[in-house]
A and B are shown apart, each in its own frame.
Chain A
Amino acid sequence: MAILQQILFLITLGIAGFFIRKRINQIRSTISLGKVTTLTGSNQERLKNVLLVAFGQKKMFKKFIPAFFHFFIYAGFLIINLEVLEFIIDGLAGTHRIFAPFLGGFYNVLMNLFEFLAIAVLVACVVFLFRRNILKVTRFQAVEMTRWPTLDANLILAIEIVLMVAILSMNASDQILQTRDHHYTPTGTLFFSSFLTSTLQHFNTSTLIILERFAWWFHILGILGFTIYVTYSKHLHIFLAFVNTYVAKLEPKGHINNMPVVTNEVKSMLGLIPAGAASAPAEPGRFGAKDINDLSRNNLIAAYACTECGRCTSECPANLTGKKLSPRKIMMDTRDRLEEVGNSIANGGPGLNDGKFLLGDYITKEEINACTSCNACVEACPVLINPLEIILELRRYVAMEESGTPAQWNSMFQNIETSFAPWKFSPADRFNWAKDSQ
């Protein structure tokens, strides 16, 4: 019996590992379709961002209520996963609560802490379901929050609730079994699950053994299944938010990334460097971005790290005044396109050459044209995502490859070219203000 369980567990772990690896590889190779970016600035600054913003949840706490409840889910995720380690060792070795004898009295403290967190996660998930579905908090209702993103968010919360219930019922039946069968390592009283023991007391021992095993298997299968699910979900932020806070831009928000290719051309046009010296770029590529492979890898990591929380969109002046632009949609579209291309490549399809593009098939010019580059979205994002960078890259493509900018912008370009000012004034009159009386 026991050996059968061990074999079964090994097989399950193998299958889950296979799928998780496959997904990780696909996501990694889709991200590497993007342009390589060298990180500038100090690593210390980057680590500080990871510690404060990702680990410390610093920017989350701008909105206290969600931050407070989210913190429990986050802490639960970090800490309860220590228990998963015990689950895996137990499952493989056929042991039961292998850490208990080593940790002695501390094991009880630890288990009680896990149970407290399990309850906290449960409560937080219920609160979040309530906010999304009953209170209908505005930022969760938007055009880009179509069926799948809405379902995804609710599914995650529901799965987490079920997993926590499994842990608690496992501990409850385990506690009763400890009094009936010496095979069950004593854990000491577990405060929260002991509330459930009274309802379970009247079951006979074999039922309880089955219940305990069922809850154990349910929990570990749930965790493994959830891990696979996460890679398809906005919940991927639990890993990639950490990466994103590390790679996030350090320059002042007003800075727009330079295009060295253009610098070379302009320099040779102005005779600042000999014409030939501007070495041709290694890969010609497009100016700006039309599809995901024109964006930087950091932009693509950001798309996978996006939590779809909508803090960006709820601060966006264009969105607030009814324009089509939504910075969250920019990130979600980028991710959807990444997944589309990634799946296509994985299935031997045409990948990037499927005749579709991020610009046009996902994001329209009307959206990107509405951006005021105000950085409200960048400021609002709790995981340091920069939707503005993607918007500007798309605009660069439209302006330089398609000459498709709005007519009024084209006149502005012309004015700058001919009058050195965005309006049509004679450059000779630039200093006239000093001559006017008052």
Chain B
Amino acid sequence: MTTNLEMNVPTLAELTAQGESPEIVFWVGCAGSFDDRAKRVTKAFVKILNAVGIKFAVLGTEESCTGDPARRAGNEFLFQMQAMSNIQVLNGYNVKKIVTACPHCFNTIKNEYPELGGNYEVIHHSSYLQQLINEGKIKLSEGGSFKGKKITYHDSCYLGRANNIYEAPREVLQALDADLVEMKKCRTTGLCCGAGGAQMFKEPEKGKQDINIARTEDALSTGASTIAVACPFCMTMMTDGVKNKEKEATVQVKDLAELIAEAIK
């Protein structure tokens, strides 16, 4: 139950100046850097890395938007400008391995940067956490506060359908000893939260309902008290949905990293 884990965040520039190189670079992403809710996820993840003793580094102010929303909104020029300058920075530091808590950054760096000259091993934090748990590096306290509690997992499109990652986040949740309940639409048929494809940055088109409300209804109907997410945009959408349904007193929306950080020994 150690929410007061230490936080020590070296930058790649610092490490390099000391003649060292990290095991892995943590790509924080724009949401993780600027969005208040997502920043808590960033910190939770850093605390886990610190607790496990992983030698990592962040880019700090040298990081910049991957270009995902620009590309998906059709502005290929802007996307490629962003991509190229990020690749220059990453290649400049000779980065080999990247972990990120954002499925959009994950997808873009992993699938779209190679064509532009950026080749890295890219891991999403759900897979990374699963790996650390399986290797016994993350030790969770026995009979944690999640024991028997109902948790439902909302699939991020950019992890699931886009990259076939369905099981890693579920295995992480199972490690919490929680009662994982599935929504009817899950895995390959999981309903989008409504934020992808740059929708996060504009009002939705006219319709009967907002997508995040429809998805929140799916999640609430499971009776779960925790909606677990693995994406900062899903986080915003589902949190707004829960507020809209006036359920924030009984239902919490949490990222995998936060749940693990709370349960870590």
Interface residues of A (CB under 8 A from B): 251-256, 258-259, 262-263, 265-267, 269-270, 272, 287-288, 315, 317-318, 320-325, 366, 369-376, 378-380, 392, 395-400, 405-406, 408-409, 411-413, 416-417, 420-423, 425, 427-431, 433-434, 436, 438
Give the complex CA separation of A323 and B75 in angstroms.
23
Q: Which of B34-90 contact A (CB under 8 A)?
A: 34-35, 39, 42-43, 46, 58, 60-61, 63-65, 67, 69-78, 80-82, 84-85, 88
Give the complex CA separation of A320 and B189 in angstroms.
13
A317 touches B209 (CB 8 A): no
Minimum CB–CB distance from A61 to chain B (whole Å) comes to 13
The segment from B92-100, B110-118, B128-136, B242-250 that touches chain A is: B110-118
CB < 8 Å: which of B7, B115, B201 contacts A258?
B115
Known: A323-B206, A430-B61. A420 touches B162 (CB 8 A): no
The segment from B144-152, B167-175, B191-199 that touches chain A is: B191-199
Interface residues of B (CB under 8 A from A): 7, 9, 11, 28, 30, 32-35, 39, 42-43, 46, 58, 60-61, 63-65, 67, 69-78, 80-82, 84-85, 88, 107, 111-112, 115-116, 157-158, 161-164, 188-189, 191-192, 194-211, 214-215
Give the complex CA separation of A158 and B115 in angstroms.
50
B70 touches A421 (CB 8 A): no
CB < 8 Å: which of A373, A408, A417, A430 contacts B196?
A373
Give the complex CA separation of A74 and B28 in angstroms.
50
Give the complex CA separation of A422 and B32 in angstroms.
12
Known: A258-B116, A421-B64, A427-B64. A400 touches B74 (CB 8 A): yes
Q: What's the A-B contact tally at a CB cutoff of 8 Å? A: 207
Known: A399-B75, A416-B82, A428-B61. A372 touches B192 (CB 8 A): yes
A433 touches B39 (CB 8 A): yes
CB < 8 Å: which of A270, A375, A392 contacts B162?
A375
B191 touches A372 (CB 8 A): no
Give the complex CA separation of A371 and B203 in angstroms.
12
Minimum CB–CB distance from A420 to chain B (whole Å) comes to 4
Give the complex CA separation of A430 and B60 in angstroms.
7
Contacts of A321 in B (CB 8 A): 207-211, 214
